């Protein structure tokens, strides 16, 4: 059967690699529009690492359409301001989200990342997701895509979706083939930009009375800019939880030492890593060390923050979404939200396909790229600019726009 021969079933069979937020969201969407799929995740289970996420009108409408928004509201809080402080906890300014709420009708919800992941996972039928499936290689033949796993199993589909994160195996296989054919842009062969590291956790204080802001209806979001290449945030969440995180700009010597490290979340963070921050005052009360002590050690994680916007997101029967295509700095708060937007655009393009021929697949992928590349690229640059400001760079690029940057730029000036 040739690659351009339509199948009897016009709906393509989708193989999704990666059970993160991008992969699960796409699966939920495909479930709604009756497109067959299966998720393959290399881990035995996805560990509840990470800290807080926030969503606004960029993703809440689709979550509402999927019936997820009400579940999310049960585990999240709205917040109206981000308050900025210097190292002495002198308030330097606030960023209000009131205008965005008036314009869109949606506020901003903030929540613990693992809780949102649990909501998504419950929406995917158990028989449509397989864990402990490490993909060794992918092959296209006879008009199909074949994946071969480390447990000697193999699977066949029409489309392969790489939702497997910043070090995507799907992307690496796809780019290798394109490079051999001389059709891969040279920029896509360049390494990630790595300038920062972050340490995050979610504390549950044994004495919540010590933190009065936990009782507030709205979440308290505090950002402290130390002016030495580091910053921290502290966010109050439902169930008396407090999300915290530190961002640190890496020195040149540190960059050389970790050149071959990747971005896998590492729960084995040594206590000494946070020692320098233990006695720092906490914006919601007490010291940062008290929050560290109230966080389960195995749920404190450290990650190096790569940044890169790849030019290429598809080739033949393979396509990328989320971090597999674009790795944003988390300072912009856009990674998960843009992964969801990728999933929505791709699902819509797949739904519009006339059949599962390669011609229809390439047409759908082309439309997906057209809808998403410029938006993702703009947010990538926006997130990088915010990271530069929050990590203490005092020489700002001219012409940076946007409400968030304008406010934080003003804050950064007060540090000089």
State the DSSP string of 292-356.
HHTS-GGG-EEEEEEEEE-S--EETTEEE-GGGTEE--GGGS-HHHHHHHHHHHHHHHHHT-SSS
- As a residue count, the chain comes to 416
The dihedral of CA 179, 183, 184, 186: what is its sign? positive
- pTM equals 0.86
The pLDDT of residue 94: 83
CA–CA gap between residue 301 and residue 191 (Å, rounded): 23
Residues in the chain where the model's pLDDT stays below 70: 1-9, 48-50, 97-105, 251-273, 331-333, 390-416
> What are the structure tokens assigned to 318, written together?
């393979």
- Burial per residue of 294-306, b for 16 or more beta-carbon CB atoms within 10 angstroms, e otherwise: bbeeebbbbbbbb
**Summary mean pLDDT of the chain:** 83
Region at 410 (left for phi over 0; alpha for psi -120 to 50; beta for the rest): alpha
Report the side by side order of strands in the sheet with 52-55: 52-55, 108-112, 76-79
Q: 20 and 113 in contact (C-beta within 8 Å)?
A: no
Instruction: Please report the domains of the chain, with CATH numbers, ordered by start residue.
Output: 14-76+113-191+307-390 (3.50.50.60)
The pLDDT of residue 49: 64
Distances (CA, A) of 245 to 250, 301, 318, 348: 16, 10, 35, 36
Taking every pair of Cα atoms in the chain, the longest distance, rounded to a whole number of angstroms, is: 70
The pLDDT of residue 254: 54
The pLDDT of residue 108: 87
Q: What are the backbone angles phi and psi of residue 303, rounded to the nearest 5°?
A: -145, 145
Q: What are the backbone angles phi and psi of residue 292, rounded to the nearest 5°?
A: -60, -45
For strand 318-320 and strand 159-162, is the pairing parallel, antiparallel, or unpaired?
parallel
The pLDDT of residue 29: 97
Smallest Cα–Cα separation from 322: which of 303, 305, 304, 336?
336
pLDDT tens-digit series, residues 66-87: 999 999 999 999 888 888 898 8
């Amino acid at each position: 059967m040739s690659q351009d021969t339509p199948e009897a079933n016009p709906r393509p069979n989708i193989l999704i690699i990666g059970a993160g937020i991008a992969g699960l969201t796409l699966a939920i969407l495909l479930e709604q529009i009756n497109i067959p799929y299966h998720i393959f995740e290399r881990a035995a289970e996805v560990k509840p690492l990470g800290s807080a996420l926030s969503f606004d009108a960029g993703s809440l409408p689709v979550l509402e359409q999927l019936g997820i928004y009400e579940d999310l509201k049960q585990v999240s809080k709205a917040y109206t301001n981000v308050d900025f402080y210097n190292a002495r906890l002198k308030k330097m300014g606030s960023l209000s989200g009131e205008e965005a709420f008036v314009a869109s009708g949606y506020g901003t919800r903030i929540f613990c990342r693992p809780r949102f992941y649990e909501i998504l996972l419950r929406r995917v039928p158990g028989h449509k997701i397989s864990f402990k499936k490490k993909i060794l290689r992918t092959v296209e033949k006879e008009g199909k895509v074949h994946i071969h796993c480390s447990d000697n199993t193999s699977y066949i589909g029409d489309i392969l979706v790489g939702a497997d994160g910043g070090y995507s195996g799907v992307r690496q296989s796809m780019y290798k083939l394109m490079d051999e054919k001389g059709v891969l842009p040279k920029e896509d062969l360049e390494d990630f930009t790595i300038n920062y590291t972050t340490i995050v956790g979610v504390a549950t204080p044994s004495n919540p009375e010590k933190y009065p802001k936990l009782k507030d209806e709205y979440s308290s979001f505090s950002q402290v800019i130390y002016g030495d290449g580091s910053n921290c945030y502290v966010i109050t969440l439902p169930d008396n939880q407090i999300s915290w995180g530190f961002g640190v700009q890496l020195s040149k010597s540190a960059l050389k030492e970790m050149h071959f490290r990747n971005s896998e979340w590492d729960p084995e963070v040594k206590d000494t890593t946070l020692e320098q921050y233990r006695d720092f005052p906490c914006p919601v009360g007490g010291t940062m060390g008290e929050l560290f002590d109230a966080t389960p050690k195995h749920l404190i994680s450290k990650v190096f923050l790569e940044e890169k916007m790849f030019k290429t997101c598809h080739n033949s029967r393979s396509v990328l979404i989320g971090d597999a295509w674009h790795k944003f700095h988390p300072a912009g708060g856009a990674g998960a939200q843009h992964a969801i937007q990728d999933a929505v655009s791709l699902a819509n393009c797949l739904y519009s396909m006339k059949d599962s021929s390669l011609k229809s697949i390439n047409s759908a992928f082309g439309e997906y790229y057209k809808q998403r590349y410029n938006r993702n690229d703009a947010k990538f640059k926006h997130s990088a600019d915010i990271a530069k400001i929050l990590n203490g760079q005092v020489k700002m690029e001219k012409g940076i726009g946007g409400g968030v940057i304008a406010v934080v730029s003003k804050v950064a000036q007060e540090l000089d």
